[in-house]
Structure formats: C-alpha cells, structure tokens
Structure 1
C-alpha cells in the first residue's frame, strides 16, 4: 500500500496519543496530500474521547504542530510535534521536539477561555458561589499580576450597562460579595451574599490586568436561579429493597443537594411513631446514614429526613420520608386467654408479616370447625389475626388447648390455661365460706 493509502487507513486504535502523533508525523511527509487533507485524516484517526475534545481543523491553525500539540496537551503528554518547511520545495517535514518548544505554537495553542457552571441554584436569603477558572493568551501572562481585578456583568456584556461587580471597588457594587479565588493564578471563583430574586440572570466574567489585558468572556456564562425553598433531600433504603427481614441490618441513606449557606445546612432524622435513632453523618457531602437492626416494631414506621438552612431571619427546611416494611415470623399476644361461663371461650391473637394463619390444637391434634368446638376468626389489620374457639364444658376437663400461628418465616404457639368449670368454682367458693 502506498504512503497515501496507508495514511488514509491509519487510526489511533490502542496506540497512545504520543505514538499516534509520531507515526502520523512519519507517514505524512511521504504523501503528496495537502495540509487540510492531512489535518482531516489526523482528526478522523483519533480515538474517543480525544476526537470529541479536539476542535475541527480550521484555517486559523497556522501550523500542524499547533494542532498536534493541542492533542498531546489534552491527553497530558509532554511531547510536542514541530514542523519545518523546505525553502526549495515548500514541502513539510515533521520533527519531534522537546517540551520547551511548546511556545512555538504561540497563541494557537492557548487562547482566552473560561470554565464555570452553566446553571447554579441559590437559596433566597443565603449565598451563591460561582466556581470559576479562566485562561488567557500566553502573550498576556506578564500582565496577570496580583493587582488584577475581576468583574461580573449581568444579562449582557456591556461594561457601561451590565457591570454589577468589580473586585477593585466592592463598596460601589450592586451585588455584595468577593472573589475568593486568586486572579493571578487564573482562579475567578466568586461568592455573592444575601441573594434574592434580583440575582436571577446570566453572569459573564471580565478580567482586567496591566497593559492590554482587558477581556470579557462572552462565550460562556453562568445562570443563577434563586429559589425560595430548599430542594427536597432524598431518602432511600440502601439496598434498594422493598421489604426487609426481621433481624437483618438496615441502612437508610439521606442525601441532599448542598446550596451555599453559612452555617452549612444540616440533616436530621425523625420517625413516626417515634423510636430511638442512631445516625452517622458526613455533612461535607450532605449525606446521613441511619443504621439499625430491623425488628417487627419497625414495620410501617415512617422515617423522615429534614434538611435545615439557618438563615438570618428564619430557618428554611425541606423533607423526604420512607415507610419501612419488615417481614417477621408470627408473634402471639400475651393477652390470649380463656373465660368460662356456660361454655368456655378462648381467644388467641397473632401478628406477623406476611399475615399468619392461626390453628387450634387440642391435646396436640388440629381442631376443625364443627359445632363443638366452634371456631371464628377476625382480621385485625394487614398483619394481625384474632381467633376464638368455643368449647362445651365437658371438653375442658380432659384436653389441653394450644393456639399455633405460622407464616413463611416461622411459627409461634402458646398453651392456654383452661379455667375450672363454673360448678367447680362454686365448690371452691363454698369451701372458702366454710372456713
């Protein structure tokens, strides 16, 4: 395959960016292709995500070395590719140069640019932070000193009409705040205080240094949106399960978007009905975990997480909650008992999730529902069941009675104390009277 065909089919693949550039440099001079065609092939052959990061080749790129150097710079390489031209033929020759040669690229490798968030939420009455870094043409590096000043323009880029903040005259600004970043280190991070709906809008940054360094970054802006109430936190079951089993470890996580505030916002837990809570928090990340071992008492308990912003005039809060569902084996109520009259009636209450079945055993054998004894059931709620059994007096002398509840997680049973028959009670009372 001729050099032109080889270059046409050449792609970075798994090659490092350095190896790709050097191999491209080797192949390109062997072809008769024009510089624009070579640039298009160079861009097309780059692997993702580098190809998406690279701008499309334009005439403003005066040298291939600048375009290749940008690719190397984006991938963190210290290698720089240079270009020389034959004075006789005008043909390009490519050479590998030392890192110090990066300045040969001039302004084409470093231009005015800025990095700042596209959209920012701010809570009314609190503060707002614009995280900001900028870049300048390297010819102005000498003009960026500690005396440089930063300006913010709102809803436009006219210095006369849209200026709302100038770091050199804070008392005269429409907006109260300060640039917390060091401008001479190209950090323009800014905080505005006591924000209100008047702060809503698009903000453009301007840098002013000595000499000719005066530039407004018109291509990028931050949009501030002031809200009256804080965003709701999010509460989730850590394992993201719908139900947990009694005895298992439970982790509830509350996370929240942290807006600028002094003091920082806090997260707190509460429950309905109220139970003792022990939480662990990472307030830097605005995350709070609630950890405990699940019991049947946690079933249908609602856990609420509240975020609180302490502002000068009042606190602002927002909440989210989750209701826990716990599965557990049956539990028989200690109130289960028997009462005697003309007949003996015994009651048994059982609770479990899923809702258990309840059976009666007489002397160890299951009892079916017929006229004597007579069994009835009543559903108390989604997990509770109450059953009663009516016994003829003659049966209470010779049988033991047991209620048994069971579901998919286990069973529980309780022997019921049979009361003496009514005539036996009269005998006992007569004996006590005789004494």
Structure 2
C-alpha cells in the first residue's frame, strides 16, 4: 500500500485538492495501489486484471488444445464495449506489451494470431482460445493481457501452464451397477478430449454405440455407453476399449480393458454315484454333489423321495449309506444368491440267489 500523509489543515495546499481527489475516487486508488500508471504514450496499465482458466492443461503433440478462459477487470475500471479490445498471450513472462519479445499471440492480427487463436468475445470478457498444432516447443507458461482504449492490463498472478505429451491417454472403462446375474449395468468407455474439434474415435468389443462429447468444468470427454443384463456367462468377460486420436493426418492409438466379475447362484448341479455300475443289496454307496457358483456353494442338502414326499436325509458335499432298498435321491446346492436342485437319480440293486443241487441218493428213478 502506498503511504499518504495528510497536509496540515492550516497549510495553503488546500483541502480543495483532497476533496477533488475524493470526488474523483482517485485518493482511494492511490491508497490501494490500484491507480493506472502512465506509460510513455500517456496510456495506463491496469493492475486489477484477473483471468480464470484451467491450469495446468495437457495437450497431445500434433493435435489442438481448447482453452476455456474468462477475465474480469476490478472496479473502478471496466471494458467499454464501444472500444476495440485486443487480447494478448505472452509466453514464459508477464510482459504482454504488443511490442514485447515475449508476446506469443495477438487477437485481430492474422500475422500474430496463429497458432493460438482467441475465439471468445473479448468485449464480453471471454478469452477462450484454440491452440493449434502443438509440439514440444509450446511447453511453458502463458500469461494473458488485454488492451483497450488507452489502457493495457496483464494478470501477473495467475497463468496458464501447458504440458505436451507424445503418447495419447488411455481410455477409462467404468461399470456402474451391481455385478450380479439378472442385474442391468451400464458400461462406459471415456477418453479425455483436449481438442473437441478432433475428438478421439472410440471402439470396443461390445455392440458399437454412438460416441458423444460431454463437458465438465471446461474440460471435454468423449464417451460411448452400453447397457447389459448380466448372466453367469459374463463372469470373466474381458471388455476392451480403443481410443484413436487424429493427429497430423494419422492416428495415435491407446486402449484399456476391464474384466467383469459377476456373482451368480448355483449352476449345473449334479450327483455322482460311487461305485458306478451295478449295485448289490447292502453294498456301501457314496453320493457326491457338485455345482459351480460365485460365491462358492456353502451348503449341500440331500433328499430321498418317499410316499410322504421328499425327506431330508443328510447334509454336506457327500452322502454315504448302505443300500438296503431301492430309492430316488437328489441334492440341493445353496449360496448367498440362491439354490439349485440336481436331477433325481434312482438307485437299484440286485439280490444274489443260490440253487441247492440234490444228491444222487435222493433221486427217485422210475421203473
């Protein structure tokens, strides 16, 4: 803040001068250090310019970069829409005079507006800019300034930092919703889009949808989406998405993949009999129940059909018993998502029979 000493009330310097300063709002500007300073041409440099733009920003070499930008001038200064407003970008230094060695781009001057072209309406305080055909030399810090009427201003506190990369960004795959059989999920593949005029082309191994571009807080994203009703067959499915960025007449490629992990109830439940083949009465028999499920089966229940209906005869993965009578058996496999019954098996047995041969002495011979 500038120091200011009030004159002696009895001095001839006069309070009329101070009153005049107050009326013109110049005394407060002096005290706040916000008074335009005069240049050699008599014009002022406004100290109260500020811009708003995302920083840092990253661009793909050979492509373009869309830079959302707005600015404001603090009171008592403002833009006169009747005046011609010039926007200036200077690189690596805040000296944004139109004759400065750091001047990089000047709006309204075809010889100085490429590759950084200000497309926003500067009179409406919109300094949005399109930066074309970036390369490694464009890495750096950029300051923004405006010039109108007899005043010029540069934001020396806030700046835009741009980085350049040779390889494109890998797309992002997101699965929204619960990955459980019968549930519908939305699968989205998205890719950052610094240059909405040349967005990446997205493809994947699902049914090809229509890509669309969305904007969030001044940054663009290209997306494709697909809705899928899940089954157990989707468990372990690898979904791959590819992003192709158009750059200088060719494409730069990047891809990503994600593996679905779908939970489901018991499937393919079946019973195996040991020993296999013919069984004899009283023989020891073991029945084994198998099923695939995710999460795994945590409970097996065995049933035997009777005249009164199914009877619970055992628990566990296997059921062993001595076969004394024929019967029909099945198992039920259960996990947290459901249960499934196996097909019914029928166990039969054969009974061994013996024939006693009569001795010759017991035979009666007819005459």
1:314 maps onto 2:250 in alignment: yes
1:121 maps onto 2:58 in alignment: yes
1:185 maps onto 2:124 in alignment: yes
1:165 maps onto 2:101 in alignment: no
- In structure 1, which of residues 289, 301, 312 is the aligned counterpart of residue 237 of structure 2? 301
| Alpha-carbon distance, 1:318 to partner | 4.1
Q: Superposition pairs for residues 228-377 of structure 1, below 5 Å?
A: 228-238=166-176, 244-270=179-205, 277=207, 282-285=212-215, 286=221, 287-332=223-268, 341-342=277-278, 349-356=290-297, 357-363=299-305, 364-365=310-311
Counterpart position of 1:44: none
1:223 maps onto 2:158 in alignment: no
Aligned to 2:185, the other structure's residue is in SS state strand
C-alpha distance in structure 1 between counterparts of 2:267 and 2:296, whole Å:
11
| Alpha-carbon distance, 1:235 to partner | 3.8
Q: Which runs of 5+ in 2 are unaligned?
A: 5-14, 35-45, 216-220, 280-284, 352-367
C-alpha distance in structure 2 between counterparts of 1:140 and 1:416, whole Å:
88
Higher share in strand: 2
C-alpha distance in structure 1 between counterparts of 2:301 and 2:237, whole Å:
29
Counterpart position of 1:401: 329
Counterpart position of 1:154: 91
| Alpha-carbon distance, 1:180 to partner | 0.4
RMSD: 4.5
Counterpart position of 1:17: none
Q: Which runs of 5+ in 1 are unaligned?
A: 1-57, 62-86, 91-102, 271-275, 370-374, 378-386, 424-435
C-alpha distance in structure 1 between counterparts of 2:48 and 2:203, whole Å:
45
| Alignment CA distance shift 1:186-1:301 (3 Å) | same
C-alpha distance in structure 2 between counterparts of 1:321 and 1:220, whole Å:
39
- Any conservation in 2 of the 1:126–1:262 contact (CA below 8 Å)? no
- Normalization by structure 2: what TM-score? 0.63
Counterpart position of 1:131: 68
| Alignment CA distance shift 1:131-1:329 (3 Å) | closer
| Alpha-carbon distance, 1:220 to partner | 2.6
C-alpha distance in structure 1 between counterparts of 2:80 and 2:212, whole Å:
43
Q: Superposition pairs for residues 59-98 of structure 1, below 5 Å?
A: none
C-alpha distance in structure 1 between counterparts of 2:176 and 2:151, whole Å:
53
- Any conservation in 2 of the 1:119–1:223 contact (CA below 8 Å)? yes
- Normalization by structure 1: what TM-score? 0.55
| Alpha-carbon distance, 1:120 to partner | 1.3
| Alpha-carbon distance, 1:127 to partner | 0.7
| Alpha-carbon distance, 1:300 to partner | 3.0
List per-residue Cα deviations over 1:90-144 (Å, max 9, x = no partner): 9xxxxxxxxxxxx965795996312132321112221112322334576674597
C-alpha distance in structure 2 between counterparts of 1:60 and 1:296, whole Å:
78
1:412 maps onto 2:348 in alignment: no
- Any conservation in 1 of the 2:333–2:340 contact (CA below 8 Å)? yes
Aligned to 1:326, the other structure's residue is in SS state coil
| Alignment CA distance shift 1:278-1:60 (3 Å) | farther
- Any conservation in 1 of the 2:88–2:107 contact (CA below 8 Å)? yes
Higher share in helix: 1
C-alpha distance in structure 2 between counterparts of 1:184 and 1:398, whole Å:
96
C-alpha distance in structure 2 between counterparts of 1:291 and 1:60, whole Å:
68
